[in-house]
Structure formats: C-alpha cells, structure tokens
Structure 1
Amino acid sequence: MGDSADAWVGSAYLFVQSTSENILLPSLYGKPEQKPQVFKAFKLAFADSTGSLNGVDMLKVHCSDPHLIVQLKFSNRENCRKFLQSYREGALRDSLQRYLSLTTPSPVHVQMELKTGAVQLDSMLLEEERCVECISQEKPNRLRDEEITKLEESLRNLSCQGGNSSLMRPEEQSPSLDSSHPPCSSVRSPNSLPQGDTFTFQGQQFTNRKITLDDHQKFAKLVSKKWKQVGRSLQTTCRALRDPTIDNLAMEYEREGLYEQAYQMLRKFIDSEGKRATIQRLVAALEENGLISLAEELLGIRPNETAV
C-alpha cells in the first residue's frame, strides 16, 4: 500500500497575476535582485498550503505577461488534496499576497487560476476527487529547471547560515532564534515555519492579529452602506458569506439599520473563519473598496498626529 502511494504523481499549472497597480509579477521575477525573494514567497506559500516544505515541487516558472506560470509537481495524493483545499478556501492566495508584500514597498494583491493541460480546475474545485484525478493524469513533462534548483539551494543555504540577507524572514533574522535552529544538514520541519505575522499597508509594516471587539464596533459604526461591498470582497475567501448570505443579512436586520447589518456581517465572518479572521484580511477588503480612512482607523494611524 505504501508503494502505491509513493508511486502517485501529478502535475498542474498555477497562473498568478497581480491586480495591484504598477506591480507586474513577470517584471518583478525578471529582476535578478528580486527573483530570489519572489521565489521564496511562492515556496513559503506552498509550504503553508500543504504543511510541508516538500509538499509541492516547483519545476519551472514561466514569465508570460501578465502572468507568472508555475509548473507544479505533486508526489503525494494527500499533499495534493491539502493544496487544493488551501487554494479553494483562499488561504494559498492570502499567504502568497502576504509574502509577496514583504518584497515590495506596497501591498501585492493577486488572482490565480489552476489548470492541468486544457482543463480549468477552478470550475470544479468543489469536486476535490475529480481535481485530484485530473492532476494525476497530467504527468510532469520535465525535470526541475536548473534555475529553480539554484534558487532552492540558495534559499536552503541562507536558512542554514542564518545570514542577514533580505531573503530571510524577519523572525529568522533575530539572533535570539539562532540557538534553536536545527543543524544545517536538515531542513526546518514544516510545523516550525512561522506563519508570517506582519503585513504592509501604505508602505508601513503592521502586526497581523485577530479582529478585536473594538475593531468590530469601529467597523460597524464607520463603514456605513458600503458594508455590502466589503462583505462581497470577503466572500471570495469566506464560504459563510457566499450568496445569498449578504442579501439575507440586509433583509433580516433592515429595521435595526446599517450598524447592525455591518456588525452581523463581520460577526459571521469572524465566527466562520476563527483564527483566520485577521485584521490583514479586513484591511485588504477595505482597501479594495476605497475605504482607506477606515483601514487607517482600525490600524491606529493618525495622519494629523504624524504630520506634526
């Protein structure tokens, strides 16, 4: 039984496009000084999605404006399922956006497509076994690209040496963590990978955290009738807000007014997402809908004070 599991292999292509103004991923990846950082962002996002640094193998990265196309190899059916679940729920996109944003002065937002040959997997994500079967039928047609091998080795060496390169995560650069690092001959276990705990907003770094009661109340008070738009932005990664939930909330709490409607929408998001209901996801939804001042309020940015 173990032999058959070891023999399982499949392949897919991940198309990634930046939706952020003035950020073109192929251009970013094409710059020698930034290519290792972009590669690292993908590597860590894939590790988050499967729980393993080796859960997904990157064979090649193609630059095809406006997309970066990553050819993926899966050697384990369970890792393939984990990847698909993370992709379906938006967790993979969230991770990749978080890590890519550490490489640029402004936040990076992306959209993705997943394909195997001529088959578009996005339209059948709820049929997980069918997706797994499509991926297993698409066998890798190449060995790992030499450039990818060099980037892998560079990343591994930097992780082992604990150097001060910008490739290292902020958490990994801290001298206090050096003594707890494993020997350089081994790769850090996937469970020890810190989940990126900061994000960038308007060129500043902020600690990511769960949405607090104070955040919740401020949002409901200030978002006004744009709460529906924010909800629709959140629904792309939150199943609990999928249609017709938002319209149902509007009707159910119509008498109570906008505050209660907004409050109940965000409560549904928090209750369903648990620890994944973070301030970063809420701020991204606010930014997407032009609610910059509300995002600044939640993050404690005081423009008048900073100008003094």
Structure 2
Amino acid sequence: MADKAVDCGPWTGCAVMFLQSLSPAVNLLSLYKDQEEGKFIIFKVIKLTLIDSAGRLDGYEILKVHDADPFLGVEVKFVDVAACQQFLQSYSSGAVHQSLSQHSGRLLALPQELRVETQLKASTHILDLCLDKPELCLQHIHLSQPERLCDEEIDRLEQLLENQALRPAVRSTTVAQEESQVPGNCFKFQSRVFEDRMLTPADVQSFSNGVGRQWKNVGRALGKSCRALKGPAVDNLAYEYEREGLYEQAYQLLSRFIQAEGRQAKLGRLVKALEDCKLTGLAENIVEAQQRE
C-alpha cells in the first residue's frame, strides 16, 4: 500500500457497512430492533461474515449496530491494516455479500439464501464507488477514526455468543466422554457427529461459491495431508486458472484433491481444513446442507 499512514505506528480506522434484505418477508432492521432472538441471530450473522471475510478472529471490532432506516448500520473499527485489507478484498470480490446471504438464510432457517443489499462507507465517502482503488479505500477508512467505544449492547451480544460457543465444554464428564467416542466412519464438528462421507459435486459447488480468496489457504491446509497439493501445487493452480476467476480456481482445487485422494477425499478433511483457516461459517453451510438433503 502506498499510504504512508499504513507504514508507521498503530493503525486504526473505521467503516460502516449498511445492510438491507431484498426479500419482502425479511426485514433485518426490524428483526434486530424488535426481537431479542432476532437481534442475537443478526449479530451472529455479522460476526460470522467478518470472520469469513477478514480471514481471522481479530484485527477488528464491532462498535455499534444501529438504525439507519431502511438499512441496518454496522460500525466496524479496524485495528490491524492486514485485516482491513483482507476485508476490502472480500467486499470487492463479492465474498462479503455472499457470506451475509448464506449465513442469514441458514440462521434464519429460510428455504434459500437471503438476498442482501450492502453499502460500505467511511465518514462521508461511499467506498462502493472506489473499490477498484483499494489504496484509496484504505486511506478513507484510516482517516475515519472511531468516535465511540464499543456499545454496551454489543458487549452483551459478544458475551452471549461466547457463552454459546463454550456451552458444550461445561457439560458433565460422562456426557463428554460418551461424545468423544466417535465411530470410525464419522467426524466431530462443533460437538456434533457427522457421517464422514466422500465429497460430492454439491460440496464442491458450495465450497467454490463460498470460499472466495481464501481458497489458497484451504488448499495449503489440505496439502498437509495430500501430496498432490504440496509445494507449489496451489500456486500453480492459481496461475493456471487465473483468468477463469475465484470460483474456477476453488473448483479446480477440490477437484484435484478428489482426483488424488479417491475414496479418502472425505468431508471431514475438508471441514478440518476450513476450521484451520477460520472459515467455520462455510464449514457449517456445507455440513448443514448435507443434513437437509
């Protein structure tokens, strides 16, 4: 990045993402404002989207979710320039929009993904208008310093989300021991046991649609146990299918994995790789799609 502010001292910046459902049956603003359960679900959607799009669990902080009728405004403070850059890349590529749609559809138990309209602003600057200039977007975000501390409501929702994640760990030792005995043809994901079946074309499609720019990281994670993806193999795939775009690159990655591993190209290995890359939201989508079929 050319911006000198990026290269010296602690880096912070602020952006606001505005969200609106395009489905007349779902109003994200009303769900967040009027229903306690809806508030928690929408907050979880936002958190999972940030984890997917920034590629990590830290580097950013939700300061406030507010009424920007007809939009729901999400104010995000970035405290790490790399996380902000990754988020901008994900937003520009459409991965943020896709994560929002997938997580909303799944957590709201909708029959299909929710179509969501988004807008990204830093102060008075509409970043959607200059996404082809990432340095400029980064500069706008850096110059838009947060004017508030984290809202108390956000603190409460963060605690609820943390408690939900920790809940399986506080069950009785007997139950934990029983659940730890996973059959050889199964794998455990988020304290639940799933059949460890071979990957299907539907899995490959879901992965290719949702992984975005993170596909190379997942490829390297798979490469730890797959010789066909070791060394320069992932970078070679990126070069070979660069013109076809991210979907085709991700599609070819899993196709190569399946071709090389045969019957050992299992769902559990893909889920583990996604977890290693902090893409638990995408893993949830793929696993739960299996449950619906």
Q: So what's the TM-score if we normalise by structure 2? A: 0.57
State the AA in 2 paired with 1:162: P
Q: Report if aligned partners of 2:15, 2:121 keep a CA contact under 8 Å in 1.
A: yes
What does residue range 180-191 of structure 1 map to in structure 2 within 5 Å?
none
Tell me, in whole angstroms, the C-alpha distance in 2 between the residues paired with 1:77 and 1:108: 30
Q: How many residues of Structure 1 are paired with residues of Structure 2 in the alignment?
A: 194
1:27 corresponds to which of 30, 40, 44 = 30
1:157 corresponds to which residue? 163
Runs of 4+ displaced beyond 6 Å: 175-178
Q: Report if aligned partners of 2:78, 2:84 keep a CA contact under 8 Å in 1.
A: yes
State the AA in 2 paired with 1:209: D
2:64 corresponds to which of 60, 65, 68 = 60
Q: Report if aligned partners of 2:62, 2:74 keep a CA contact under 8 Å in 1.
A: yes
1:135 and 2:141 are equivalent in the alignment: yes
Change (3 A) 1:6 1:176: farther
1:94 corresponds to which residue? 98
1:103 corresponds to which of 98, 101, 107 = 107
Change (3 A) 1:125 1:21: same
3-state DSSP of counterpart to 1:7: coil
CA-based RMSD of the aligned residues comes to: 3.8
Q: Report if aligned partners of 2:41, 2:108 keep a CA contact under 8 Å in 1.
A: no
Q: Report if aligned partners of 2:54, 2:87 keep a CA contact under 8 Å in 1.
A: yes
Tell me, in whole angstroms, the C-alpha distance in 1 between the residues paired with 2:105 and 2:177: 25
Tell me, in whole angstroms, the C-alpha distance in 2 between the residues paired with 1:123 and 1:26: 24
3-state DSSP of counterpart to 2:37: coil
3-state DSSP of counterpart to 2:74: strand
1:210 and 2:214 are equivalent in the alignment: no
Q: Report if aligned partners of 1:5, 1:76 keep a CA contact under 8 Å in 2.
A: no
State the AA in 2 paired with 1:112: T
Structure with more contact order per residue of length (Cα contacts < 8 Å, sep ≥ 6) = 2
Q: Report if aligned partners of 1:11, 1:116 keep a CA contact under 8 Å in 2.
A: yes
2:73 corresponds to which residue? 69
1:118 corresponds to which residue? 124
Tell me, in whole angstroms, the C-alpha distance in 2 between the residues paired with 1:44 and 1:72: 14
1:7 corresponds to which of 10, 13, 22 = 10
1:145 and 2:121 are equivalent in the alignment: no
Per the TM alignment, residue 101 of structure 1 is displaced from its structure 2 partner at its CA by 1.0
Tell me, in whole angstroms, the C-alpha distance in 2 between the residues paired with 1:128 and 1:54: 21
Tell me, in whole angstroms, the C-alpha distance in 2 between the residues paired with 1:276 and 1:61: 38
State the AA in 1 paired with 2:161: L
Change (3 A) 1:270 1:132: closer
| Deviation digits for residues 90-147 of structure 1 (CA, Å, limit 9, x no counterpart) | 1111111111112324231101111011111111111111110110000000000000
1:274 corresponds to which residue? 250
1:83 corresponds to which residue? 87
Change (3 A) 1:276 1:116: farther
3-state DSSP of counterpart to 2:91: helix
Q: Report if aligned partners of 2:13, 2:146 keep a CA contact under 8 Å in 1.
A: yes
Tell me, in whole angstroms, the C-alpha distance in 2 between the residues paired with 1:177 and 1:154: 27
State the AA in 2 paired with 1:79: A
1:47 and 2:51 are equivalent in the alignment: yes
Change (3 A) 1:210 1:153: same
Give 5+ residue unaligned stretches, structure 1. 165-174, 180-192, 195-206, 213-233, 239-266, 279-298, 300-308
| Deviation digits for residues 195-248 of structure 1 (CA, Å, limit 9, x no counterpart) | xxxxxxxxxxxx962249xxxxxxxxxxxxxxxxxxxxx9xx99xxxxxxxxxx
Change (3 A) 1:82 1:108: same
Percent identity over paired residues: 34
Q: Report if aligned partners of 1:47, 1:56 keep a CA contact under 8 Å in 2.
A: no
Q: Report if aligned partners of 1:162, 1:178 keep a CA contact under 8 Å in 2.
A: no
